[in-house]
């Protein structure tokens, strides 16, 4: 499986850590930056990863809290981004919501916990029971 990963300066160190772990675990990693801890605008990174996700890859986005990246990625049609802070959320994001982008906060979780959440997200499939499909379709349609 290909995994596109990106982070702003606040998530740079965690991106590097997860990128290495993913490679060791056999994933093909597409690194979309940032490539050093210098300040960058997180939407630029989020949109690069989102484009990879639209081409069939999974995505991981990291900033200080994960909130900014999640907001930016969610603006891209076809992307379902989920901010997850524990393994259960990582599994449920996939299982119930069919999320294709995992968002993490480097300043609010440790590296090992982030790895556990990432593994849960990547190793979990999607439930295709009627009720989950119906709910996901409603979200995809949106309404006001």
CA pair distance 24, 3, nearest whole angstrom: 13
Helix (H, G, I), strand (E, B) or coil at 44: helix
| Catalytic status, residue 96 | yes
φ and ψ at 63, to 5 degrees? -140, -165
Q: Which residue of the set 9, 63, 84, 103 is catalytic?
A: 63
Helix (H, G, I), strand (E, B) or coil at 7: strand
CA pair distance 142, 108, nearest whole angstrom: 30
SS3 content of the chain, % helix, strand, coil (to 5): 50, 15, 35
Q: Shortest CA distance to 49 belongs to which of 15, 86, 20?
A: 15
| Catalytic status, residue 63 | yes
Q: Which residue of the set 9, 70, 96, 103 is catalytic?
A: 96
Contacts of 141 (CB under 8 A, 6+ apart): none
List active site positions. 63, 96
């Amino acid at each position: 499986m290909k995994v596109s990963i990106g982070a702003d300066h606040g998530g740079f160190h965690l991106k590097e850590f997860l990128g290495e772990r993913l490679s060791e675990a056999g994933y093909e990693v597409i690194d979309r930056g940032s490539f050093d801890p210098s300040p960058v605008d997180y939407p630029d990174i989020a949109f690069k990863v989102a484009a990879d996700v639209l081409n069939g890859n999974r995505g991981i986005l990291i900033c200080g809290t994960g909130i900014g990246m999640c907001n930016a990625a969610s603006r891209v049609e076809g992307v379902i981004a989920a901010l997850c802070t524990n393994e259960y959320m990582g599994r449920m994001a996939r299982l119930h919501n069919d999320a294709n982008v995992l968002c993490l906060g480097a300043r609010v979780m440790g590296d090992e916990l982030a790895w556990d959440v990432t593994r849960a997200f990547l190793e979990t499939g999607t439930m295709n029971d009627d009720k989950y499909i119906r709910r996901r379709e409603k979200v995809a349609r949106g309404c006001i």
